[in-house]
């Protein structure tokens, strides 16, 4: 079975409704094509790197697969399950890792954050602790009691990766995750990710970094929402 | 209007004739219902503003469940404040309550909370689609406070707007709770409860459908987590 499949996916971002626009009688005044009929298949055990200029659609691919954006045409499937039709079922199989550190609760500790998000997957504190110990290569153990707000950018990225892996996903979506990491951290992370693929997991990573793209099994360049 | 309600006239006789007790029960019931009405949209907006919404929505938690679950703590706080109002009113301010009516009052509260959560989902739908603060819940709260009979019986309202009070869940929740708790109340609480149940049965599927449509629209625009 294919781990990830995009079938002629078209995504159009619209400005959305606003009270002002509705009053003017122009509810969707602007739009931009983010993905233009993109097709992509990723098999189990494979890691695919998405690269390309800003606005090429790399992050949008990840957001479609995470169920945050629904295509206006085409279909996205994870392990054969349609993302738009069954986002909750797909969410249990996907780990979405973004370096947006606003996605954590800054006033809580790292452990409290991870425990909160583990609970969203129905994982209790003891089970979360056990799963976290399996992710030792990320070096998150020593950060658990620290408030999230005091972490460096690289440490936050490692915590984000731990969050994305806690529920044992079969597909990992990484958005520029290694951007702020030092050499040692990056090597540790890629060691872990290669182990993930070795166990049958699939990875789609959006990155500009040639060092990341050297580690993936296949790199794809996107331009204007299409394969280059 | 308020004067008519405060004066021990025929309007209050149906509720036992004690305006202070009437108000105490009104405020106690209003507290948790207000939390259920407003907190879902408020928490959704807050999660969008601080940036945690997307991180939650990529988990198997549906947006509907997220909004409803986020109201649990505020609603429990509202229940505690309502109980405090009743407790202080009863123990220190001489309000007489009928303990035998407590089971019916609790059933009424549970049904009314479900109805208020449904109305809160409508407010959250507005926040999802328009990416703005939620005026829907605020308007509903003002309408409920003015027309729902918290401070005075709805019978004192002008005939022309009394019909509006009939479609506000708080009106029937207060009717059933007061009929159960106020000694000497000559109103049949089960009728008010039946009307509340009827309203709830209409509101829940409508609010659920509207919120799902709003979430689908936000997903289609790619704006689910943005503000």
CATH number of the domain where residue A152 is located: 3.40.50.300
Residues of B in contact with A92 (CB under 8 A): 60
Q: Is the pLDDT score of A131 beyond 60?
A: yes
Task: Flag whether B17 is in a domain.
Answer: yes
- Alpha carbon B224 to its chain's center: 27
Q: Is the pLDDT score of B188 beyond 90?
A: no
Which residue of B lies nearest to A33 if distances are taken between CA atoms? B221
Is B128:B52 a contact under the CB 8 Å cutoff?
no
pLDDT at B1: 42
Q: Which of B48, B53, B56, B60 to mutate to test the interface with A (most CBs of A within 10 A)?
A: B60
How close A188 gets to chain B, by Cα (Å)?
24
Region A107-133 average pLDDT: 92
Q: Is the pLDDT score of A52 beyond 80?
A: yes
Task: Flag whether B227 is in a domain.
Answer: no
B16-57 pLDDT, tens digit per residue, is 778 889 999 999 999 999 999 999 888 988 888 888 888 998
When divided into structural domains, chain B yields a total of 1
When divided into structural domains, chain A yields a total of 1
Task: Flag whether B226 is in a domain.
Answer: no
Considering all CA atoms of chain A, what is the largest pairwise distance in Å, rounded to the nearest integer?
56
For chain B, say whether A32 makes contact (Cβ under 8 Å).
no
Cα-flanking dihedrals φ and ψ of residue B26, to 5°? Answer: -60, -45
Task: Flag whether A22 is in a domain.
Answer: no
Is B191:B184 a contact under the CB 8 Å cutoff?
no
Round to whole Å and give the CA distance between A135 and B226: 31
Q: Is the pLDDT score of A22 beyond 70?
A: no
pLDDT at A46: 95
Contact A68 B222 (CB under 8 A): yes
- Alpha carbon A62 to its chain's center: 6
Task: Flag whether A205 is in a domain.
Answer: yes
Task: Flag whether A6 is in a domain.
Answer: no
For chain A, say whether B102 makes contact (Cβ under 8 Å).
no
pLDDT at A29: 57
Task: Flag whether A160 is in a domain.
Answer: yes
Structural domain containing residue A136: 45-70+88-227
For chain A, say whether B221 makes contact (Cβ under 8 Å).
yes
Q: Is the pLDDT score of B7 beyond 60?
A: no
* CA nearest to B60, candidates A90, A113, A3, A65: A90
Q: How many CB atoms lie within 10 A of CB A112?
A: 16
Region B140-168 average pLDDT: 85
pLDDT at B3: 44
Task: Flag whether A153 is in a domain.
Answer: yes
Helix (H, G, I), strand (E, B) or coil at A207: coil
Global pTM exceeds 0.90: no
Contact B59 A121 (CB under 8 A): yes
pLDDT at B193: 95
ipTM reported for the complex, 2 dp: 0.86
* CA nearest to A193, candidates A13, A66, A46, A81: A46
For chain B, say whether A85 makes contact (Cβ under 8 Å).
no
Region B98-111 average pLDDT: 93
Structural domain containing residue B106: 2-221
| Alpha helices (H) along chain B | 2-6, 10-13, 19-50, 53-57, 63-70, 72-91, 102-130, 135-147, 159-166, 169-181, 189-221
Which residue of A lies nearest to B63 if distances are taken between CA atoms? A88
Which letter does DSSP use for residue B15 in this model? B
């Amino acid at each position: 079975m294919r781990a990830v499949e995009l079938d002629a996916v078209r995504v159009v971002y619209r400005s959305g409704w606003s009270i002002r626009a509705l009053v003017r009688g122009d509810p969707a005044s602007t739009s931009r094509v983010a993905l233009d009929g993109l097709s992509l298949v990723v098999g189990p055990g494979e890691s695919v790197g998405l690269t390309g200029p800003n606005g090429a659609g790399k992050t949008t691919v990840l957001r479609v697969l995470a169920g945050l954006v629904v295509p206006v045409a085409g279909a996205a499937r994870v392990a054969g399950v349609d993302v738009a039709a069954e986002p909750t079922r797909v969410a249990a199989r996907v780990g979405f890792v973004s370096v947006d550190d606003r996605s954590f609760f800054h006033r809580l500790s790292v452990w409290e954050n991870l425990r909160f998000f583990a609970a969203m997957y129905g994982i209790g504190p003891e089970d979360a602790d056990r799963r976290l110990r399996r992710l030792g290569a990320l070096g998150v153990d020593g950060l658990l009691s620290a408030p999230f707000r005091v972490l460096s950018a690289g440490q936050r990225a490692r915590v984000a990766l731990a969050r994305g892996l806690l529920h044992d996903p079969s597909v990992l979506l990484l958005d520029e995750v290694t951007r702020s990491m030092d050499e040692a951290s990056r090597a540790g992370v890629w060691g872990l990710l290669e182990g993930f693929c070795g166990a049958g997991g699939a990875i789609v990573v959006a990155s500009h970094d040639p060092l990341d793209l050297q580690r993936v099994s296949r790199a794809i360049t996107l331009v204007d929402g299409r394969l280059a | 209007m308020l004067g008519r309600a405060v004066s021990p006239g025929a309007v209050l006789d149906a509720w036992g004739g004690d305006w202070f007790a009437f108000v105490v029960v009104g405020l106690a019931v209003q507290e948790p219902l207000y939390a259920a009405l407003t907190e879902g949209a408020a928490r959704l907006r807050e999660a969008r503003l601080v940036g945690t919404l997307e991180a939650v929505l990529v988990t198997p938690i549906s947006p509907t469940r997220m909004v409803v679950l986020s109201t649990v703590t505020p609603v429990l706080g509202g229940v505690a404040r309502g109980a405090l109002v009743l407790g202080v009113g009863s123990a220190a301010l001489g309000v007489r309550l009928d303990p035998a009516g407590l089971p019916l009052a609790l059933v009424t509260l549970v049904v009314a909370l479900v109805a208020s959560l449904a109305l809160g989902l409508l407010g959250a739908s507005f926040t999802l689609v328009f990416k703005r603060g939620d005026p829907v819940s605020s308007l509903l709260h003002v309408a409920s406070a003015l027309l729902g009979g918290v401070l005075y019986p709805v019978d004192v309202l002008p005939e022309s707007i009394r019909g509006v009070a009939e479609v506000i869940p708080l009106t029937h929740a207060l009717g059933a709770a007061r009929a159960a708790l106020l000694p000497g109340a000559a109103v049949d609480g089960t009728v008010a409860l039946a009307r509340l149940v009827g309203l709830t049965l209409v509101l829940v599927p409508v609010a659920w459908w509207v919120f799902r449509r709003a979430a689908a629209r936000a997903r289609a625009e790619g704006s689910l987590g943005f503000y």
